[in-house]
């Protein structure tokens, strides 16, 4: 079988072809993956999260992050992801602290976790602390959601959105932001973000009375569980070719790794959550949050690999949706 390199160029080579050099600019967002424990086990999950995982960020690691944030006033946003972050026992204490520091808090929520035992007041807690919720909903059709995320997940997602709307999330004039995330159910690129947002808005309002602020379309990045899923179905090479063929230089100028760093549950640093899961350390050299005195010491170089083509294909993809 020919190797990938025979027909897929390196990401660095394609950037060179377009004269693009990607370097980290001053960091504005700290993305923190607080653990791999999740109540779901979605087929596309690049974190390989699930109920049987045990990795969880510890209290001392959260405390170190608070210290680093105190010395980094330019980092205005803290983006909390997982797994299901709510399941980390230190999640609420960290949210309270960061909220008191006046930073913007983003929280990536799978919605169904809001109905797990012990999570009954999580939605109210998020609202009380002004946390922006970014919720996964890969389709407005039940079958498509359940196929990707598990049986019964669509119903819980709709209940979760009703709960959040009831607290003021996504309502006109409310400061509580509720953004939804779409990712493709198959080995294809997302459709137009603005057109799909309009369809979501109509469908969710008409059938469920649900309101939200924005829809983010994300490309499935071919690492870990999703890469294996593609290989098992004989789709990996074609999907990589699709990503390469749709390289968009405009997206490459605005990659999310250029303004943020990603912290793993154990405090190790990465250029993004995808590199974290691929085991590719920040700038290519292992570095830990206890190795730096402040976030300005983090190197500007960014480690790239073939999965980076997922961020530059078509309209581009980031944790905040389409780029270009
Ligand atoms: S809900 Fe999110 S973190 Fe959990 S398995 Fe699904 S994609 Fe992964
Ligand atoms: S996968 Fe990560 S490092 Fe690669 S382009 Fe995307 S954000 Fe940047």
Task: Please report which confidence band the pLDDT of residue 148 belongs to, taking 50, 70 and 90 as the band edges.
Answer: confident
282 Cα–ligand 1 center, Å: 23
Ligand 2, atom 4, lies closest to the CA of 308
Decide whether any atom of ligand 1 lies within 6 Å of the 49 Cβ.
Answer: yes
Q: What is the distance in A from the centroid of ligand 2 to the CA of 308?
A: 5
At 44 the pLDDT is 78
Ligand 1 pocket, mutate which of 84, 112, 221, 229 (most atoms under 8 A from CB): 84
Q: Give the integer Cα–Cα distance in Å for 150 and 64.
A: 36
Q: What is the pLDDT of residues 89-142, one digit of tens each?
A: 999 999 999 999 999 999 999 999 999 999 999 999 999 999 999 999 989 999
| Residues sharing a CB contact under 8 Å with residue 47, sequence separation 6 or more, in sequence order | 33, 36, 38, 82, 83, 224, 273, 277
Average pLDDT rounded to a whole number, residues 6-23: 92
The ranges assigned to domains in the chain are 25-235+259-305
Q: Which CATH number does 25-235+259-305 carry?
A: 3.20.20.70
Residue 6 has pLDDT above 60, yes or no: no
Give the full edge-to-edge strand order of the sheet including 214-217: 214-217, 178-182, 132-136, 104-109, 77-81, 29-33, 260-263, 269-270
Mutate to test the pocket of ligand 1, among 52, 83, 113 (most ligand atoms within 8 A of CB): 83
Ligand nearest to C-alpha 148: 1
Cβ atoms < 10 Å from Cβ of 122: 23
Ligand 1 in contact with 47 (CB < 6 A)? yes
CA 267 – CA 269 distance, rounded (Å): 6
The pLDDT of residue 43 is 78
Pairing of strands 29-33, 178-182: unpaired
pLDDT of residue 5: 45
Residue 22 to residue 10: CA distance in whole angstroms: 14
For 275-306, what is each residue's pLDDT tens digit?
999 999 999 999 999 999 999 999 999 999 99
At 100 the pLDDT is 98
Q: Is residue 29 scored above 80 in pLDDT?
A: yes
Burial class (CB in 10 A: 0-12, 13-18, 19+), 184: middle
Q: Give the pLDDT score at 1.
A: 40
Residue 148 in contact with ligand 1 by CB distance below 6 A:
no
pLDDT the model gives residue 31: 98
Indicate the DSSP class of residue 172. T
Structure confidence by residue, pLDDT tens digits, 169-199: 999 999 999 999 999 989 999 999 999 999 9
Pocket of ligand 2, candidates 12, 22, 222, 311: which has the most ligand atoms within 8 Å of its Cβ, to mutate? 311
Q: In sequence order, what are the beta bridge partners of 135?
A: 109, 180
pLDDT per residue as tens digits for the range 31-89: 999 999 999 988 778 899 999 999 999 999 999 999 999 999 999 999 999 999 999 99
Mean pLDDT of 144-172: 94
Distance of alpha carbon 150 from alpha carbon 166, whole angstroms: 25
Binning pLDDT at 50, 70 and 90, where does residue 4 land? Answer: very low
| Number of neighbouring beta carbons within 10 Å of residue 136 | 22
What is the predicted pLDDT for the residue at 46? Answer: 87
Residues in the chain: 324
For ligand 2, atom 1, name the residue with the nearest CA: 308
* Residue 284 CA, ligand 2 centroid: distance in Å: 13
Residues with CB under 6 A from ligand 2: 255-257, 271-272, 274-275, 302, 304, 307-308, 311
């Amino acid at each position: 079988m020919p190797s990938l390199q025979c027909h897929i160029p390196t990401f660095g080579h394609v950037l060179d072809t377009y004269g693009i050099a990607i370097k980290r600019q001053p960091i504005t967002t700290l993305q923190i993956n607080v653990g791999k424990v999740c109540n779901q086990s979605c087929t596309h999950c690049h974190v390989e999260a699930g109920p049987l995982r045990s990795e969880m960020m510890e209290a001392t690691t959260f405390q170190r992050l608070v210290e680093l944030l105190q010395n980094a006033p330019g980092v205005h946003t803290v983006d909390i992801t997982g797994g299901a972050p709510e399941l980390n026992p230190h999640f609420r204490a960290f949210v309270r602290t960061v909220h008191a520091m006046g930073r913007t808090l983003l929280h990536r929520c799978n919605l169904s976790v809001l109905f797990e035992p012990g999570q009954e007041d999580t939605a109210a807690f998020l609202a009380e602390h002004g946390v922006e919720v970014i919720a996964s909903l890969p389709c407005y059709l039940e079958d498509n959601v359940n196929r990707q995320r598990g049986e019964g997940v669509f119903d819980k997602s709709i209940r979760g959105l009703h709960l959040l709307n009831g607290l003021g999330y996504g309502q006109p004039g409310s400061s509580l932001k509720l953004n939804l995330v779409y990712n493709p159910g198959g080995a294809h690129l997302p459709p137009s973000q603005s057109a799909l947002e309009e369809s979501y808005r109509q469908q969710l309002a008409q059938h469920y009375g649900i309101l939200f602020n924005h829809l983010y379309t994300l490309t499935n990045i071919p690492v870990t569980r999703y890469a294996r899923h593609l290989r098992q179905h004989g789709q990996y090479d074609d999907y990589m070719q699709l990503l390469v063929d749709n390289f968009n230089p405009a997206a490459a100028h605005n990659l999310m790794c250029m303004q943020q760093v990603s912290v793993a549950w154990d405090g190790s640093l990465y250029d993004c959550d995808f590199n974290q899961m691929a085991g590719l350390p920040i700038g290519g050299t292992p570095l830990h949050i206890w190795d730096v005195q402040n976030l300005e010491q983090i190197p500007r170089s960014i480690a790239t690999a073939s999965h980076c083509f997922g961020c530059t294909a078509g309209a581009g993809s980031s944790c905040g949706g389409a780029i270009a």
